[in-house]
Amino acid sequence: MSIKHLALSAVIALAGVFASSVQAAEPARSKAWDAAGAAGYLDRRLDWWRSWPKAERDHGTHCISCHTALPVALARPVLRQALGQAETSATEQAMYADVVKRVRMWREVEPFYPDQRSGLPKSSESRAVESVLNSLFLVTRDNERGGPLSPDTRQAFANMWLLQIQTGDLKGGFAWLTFRLEPWESETAPYWGATLAAIAVAKAPDSYAASPEIADNVAALRGYLRTAYTKDSSLFTRMTVLWADSHLHGVLEPAQRQATIDQLLAAQSSDGGWSLTRLSSWRRRDGTEIADVSDGFATLALADSLTPSPKRRGR
């Protein structure tokens, strides 16, 4: 397991938790939260990522990432609201410009990791990852602007649906990058990818999730997410699917949902937090075990999974 991935993944979970709770926070607690510092940190990290030569891609674009760009896309709109800011930062604008450019040039741009340089099947994996992230990023921007669903976002979704798996074990899901880095770039990561797709669909304005033209796609996506409950999946994977269900309702049966919640609550440590060791069987890359102590990643990810969306979408 990559410690860097754990630390950066915690920011993703924090973004979701903060988005769900910032408006309900007590005034005294809100004053203690350095929203400007958090916003500045995210902007600096994204600036660094975009200036890193290995993040550069063809046609003058840059790779968007689960570990750097995604936390910015999820958290910055909430931080902007908390700070009373009206405009997106220059860093975000550059990121979204890349996303829009690649969506519009989908047939011309190379995959983030072409097979010829990264080995099979990295082209199909990175195409699917990008299509899901593009959709989620642009939906987030549409929502912050107050809707409607923009033409670029519709195109991003169209690109995504064309890459939805039609048969086999992944039917209804999406191929996902596998670099043997738990949890986001691993053999079980397609459930993470499908969760992000489900959240993007559920959050899309104009009741997009209920559109007749994507009814079969959404049904297949729900069906794939349910397979986590027919396999020997980790509690972490089932927690991820619970997060998807909290947005795109109808993924889980009530009994499945409650059973997962009960298992997660039973895994709580005496200090009130959760540890990775209680959610999975992961070990560090050097083979050593992860200490059974509460950590921010597990605790924040679980809190977001247990936070239902304010509206029941996608029914």
- Please state the domain extents for the chain: 3-305
Nearest to 201 by CA among 163, 247, 155: 247
The angle at the Cα of 90, spanning 88 to 91, to the nearest 5 degrees, equals 100
H/E stretch holding 49: helix 35-51
CA distances, 47 to each of 36, 92, 164, 181 (Å): 16, 9, 32, 24
Helix (H/G/I), strand (E/B), else coil: 248: strand
Instruction: Name beta bridge partners: 248.
Output: 313
CB 195 within 8 A of CB 167: no
Let me know if domain 3-305 sits in CATH 2.130.10.
Answer: no
Count how many Cα atoms sit within 13 Å of the Cα of residue 158 in the half-sphere of its side chain: 11
Place of tokens 């630390």: 7
Contacts for 297-303 with beta carbons within 8 Å, 24 or more apart? Answer: 297/6, 297/7, 297/9, 297/10, 297/13, 298/273, 298/274, 299/273, 299/274, 300/10, 300/13, 300/14, 300/16, 300/17, 301/9, 301/10, 301/13, 301/236, 301/239, 302/239, 302/264, 302/274, 303/13, 303/17
**pLDDT values of the chain reduced to their tens digit, one per residue, 315 residues:** 443 443 344 434 434 433 443 444 444 444 577 889 999 999 999 999 999 999 999 999 999 998 889 989 999 999 999 999 988 999 999 999 999 999 999 999 999 999 999 999 999 999 999 999 999 999 999 999 999 999 999 999 999 999 999 999 999 999 999 998 887 788 889 999 999 999 999 999 999 999 999 999 999 999 999 999 998 899 999 999 999 999 999 999 999 999 999 999 999 999 888 888 889 888 888 888 888 898 877 787 777 677 665 554 444
CB 197 within 8 A of CB 209: no
pLDDT in tens, 229-273: 998 899 999 999 999 999 999 999 999 999 999 999 999 999 888
Residues 85, 65: Cα–Cα separation, whole Å: 25
